[in-house]
């Protein structure tokens, strides 16, 4: 079975320009994959290589076991790294999800001509993202300083292209405010690549972002992808691909574009301490699991962020982005949760409390210690397949977590 990438070409649609190519699937169906940008960036769209299309479709092809061929050359170094490292390793580690495939087509080893040196990263408004942005605006050598923000349409859980477009446009309004505050140009790119991933391929991670970046191969020289995981915990394993972003990004780095996974050298709450004094962060920090516009101030991500800020004595500075009344109402409950869970993030906050000479209230400690045995028992039960099947079938997770959180957990674990 073979997937063929047709010749890349540019199509103009109003004030937008699209880099697109016809993708012929093994059953003979032809679908068009495109990357859409503002017309001012048309000259940076790369039509003389299939790099973007190959990267974007690689996990899709591996999932279904499709070999890949192309009509327009692929960068030789990119081919080498994907063929000798990425494909064999993923096929070995996650062989029930990704299959070993063959790639075949013309290669080219000449450099891409660039008229500018652009350094970019995405901007989500979260802790990891703001750390990458603020560090690379102020705390790196000149040639590594940010020149652009890059905003793309990428999702694992949209059900239609229309919904993805709506999410993209709504999200842009928020990211544009951050870009203006930082006085950085923002490059936007909308793609329909998610259509290839609707049918069960979860968490494409760094590789899918890289495909978007490569569409503008003539523009970007360096791209930073924010990491939410410690480099010390890097492990290539089935499941969450963010644990091995260093490997993913190495495999797609070439002379044309160098990718860096950033932030893994620090813990989440070290990053929080680094960014918490910047005014743009105080105005636009957004970490919420459930609300795309505002922080709900009660979900796990909101509360652990507020606890970290509270430990540093700066929570009041973030009253524009968090509901501090909710924090004070529920803080004992969440401090107790820190004590009984003892996750990596919880332990970082507890350490932050000690460093800043702040006490966790006795009530929270007693409650946390009392609940911990029950929590540990629950952790063991989660390893029992029969119990978990019954747990999900009876929808007990909806009772325990709320529908929104339960749906999120089910999706991440590929559970219907």
Residue 58: closest CA among 211, 202, 164: 211
Phi-psi sector, 57: left (phi>0), alpha (psi -120 to 50), beta: alpha
How far is 84 from 340, CA to CA, in rounded Å? 44
CA 219 vs CA 52, 73, 74, 295: distances in Å: 13, 19, 18, 34
At 192-203, the pLDDT tens digits run 988 887 655 655
- Any idea which of 93-102, 228-237, 289-298, 326-335 has the lowest mean pLDDT? 228-237
Average model confidence (pLDDT) for the chain?
89
Average confidence (pLDDT) over 217-236? 86
How far is 303 from 327, CA to CA, in rounded Å? 7
Buried b / exposed e over 281-294, threshold 16 CB at 10 Å, is bbebbbbbeeeeee
Average confidence (pLDDT) over 4-22? 96
Q: What's the confidence (pLDDT) of residue 294?
A: 87
User: With the CA atoms of 317, 323, 325 and 328 taken in that order, what torsion angle do they form, in degrees rounded to the nearest 10?
Assistant: -70
pLDDT at residue 212 above 70? yes
At 33-79, the pLDDT tens digits run 999 999 999 999 999 999 999 999 999 999 999 999 999 999 999 99
CA 79 vs CA 2, 44, 258, 347: distances in Å: 17, 22, 15, 42
Burial class (CB in 10 A: 0-12, 13-18, 19+), 159: exposed
pLDDT at residue 260 above 60? yes
Q: What's the confidence (pLDDT) of residue 124?
A: 87
pLDDT at residue 205 above 90? no
Average confidence (pLDDT) over 198-217? 80
Q: What's the confidence (pLDDT) of residue 200?
A: 55
Q: Please say whether the beta carbons of 356 and 311 come within 8 A.
A: yes
DSSP 299-315: SHHHHHHHHHHHHTT-G
CA 182 vs CA 127, 258, 278, 384: distances in Å: 16, 23, 11, 49
How far is 336 from 52, CA to CA, in rounded Å? 47
Q: What's the confidence (pLDDT) of residue 159?
A: 67
How far is 140 from 93, CA to CA, in rounded Å? 36
Residue 127: closest CA among 320, 315, 263, 290: 263
């Amino acid at each position: 079975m073979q997937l063929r990438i047709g010749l890349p070409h540019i199509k103009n649609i109003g004030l937008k320009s699209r880099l697109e190519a016809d993708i012929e699937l093994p059953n003979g169906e032809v679908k068009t994959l495109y990357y859409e940008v503002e017309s001012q960036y048309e000259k940076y769209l790369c039509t003389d290589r299939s790099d973007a299309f190959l990267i974007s479709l690689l996990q899709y092809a591996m999932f279904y076991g499709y070999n890949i061929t192309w009509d327009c050359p692929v960068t030789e170094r990119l081919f080498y790294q994907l063929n000798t490292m990425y494909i064999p390793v993923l096929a070995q580690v996650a062989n029930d999800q990704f299959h070993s495939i063959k790639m075949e087509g013309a290669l080219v080893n000449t450099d891409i001509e660039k008229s500018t040196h652009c350094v970019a990263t995405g901007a989500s408004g979260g802790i990891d993202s703001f750390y990458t942005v603020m560090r690379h605006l102020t705390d790196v050598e000149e040639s590594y300083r940010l020149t652009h923000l890059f905003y793309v349409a990428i999702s694992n859980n949209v059900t239609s292209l229309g919904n993805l477009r709506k999410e993209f446009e709504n999200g842009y309004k928020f990211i544009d405010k951050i870009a203006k505050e930082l006085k950085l140009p923002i490059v936007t790119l909308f793609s329909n690549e998610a259509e290839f991933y609707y049918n069960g391929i979860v968490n494409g991670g760094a590789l899918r972002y890289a495909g978007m970046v490569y569409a503008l191969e003539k523009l970007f020289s360096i791209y930073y992808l924010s990491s939410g995981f410690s480099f010390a915990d890097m492990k290539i394993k089935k499941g969450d691909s963010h644990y091995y972003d260093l490997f993913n990004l190495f495999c797609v780095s070439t002379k044309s574009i160098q990718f860096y996974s950033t932030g893994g050298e620090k813990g989440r709450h070290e990053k929080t301490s680094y960014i918490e004094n910047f005014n743009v962060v105080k105005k636009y920090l957004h970490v919420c699991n459930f609300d795309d516009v505002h922080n709900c101030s009660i979900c796990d991500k909101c509360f652990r962020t507020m606890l970290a800020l509270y430990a540093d004595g700066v929570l009041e500075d973030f009253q524009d982005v968090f509901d501090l009344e909710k924090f004070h109402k529920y803080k004992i409950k969440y401090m107790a949760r820190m004590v009984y869970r003892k996750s990596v993030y919880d332990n970082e906050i507890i350490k932050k409390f000690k460093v800043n000479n702040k006490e966790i209230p006795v009530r929270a400690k007693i409650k946390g210690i009392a609940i911990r045995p029950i929590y540990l028992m629950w952790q063991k039960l989660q390893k029992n397949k029969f119990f978990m099947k019954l747990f999900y079938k009876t929808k007990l997770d909806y009772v325990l977590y709320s529908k929104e959180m339960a749906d999120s957990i089910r999706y991440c674990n590929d559970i219907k």
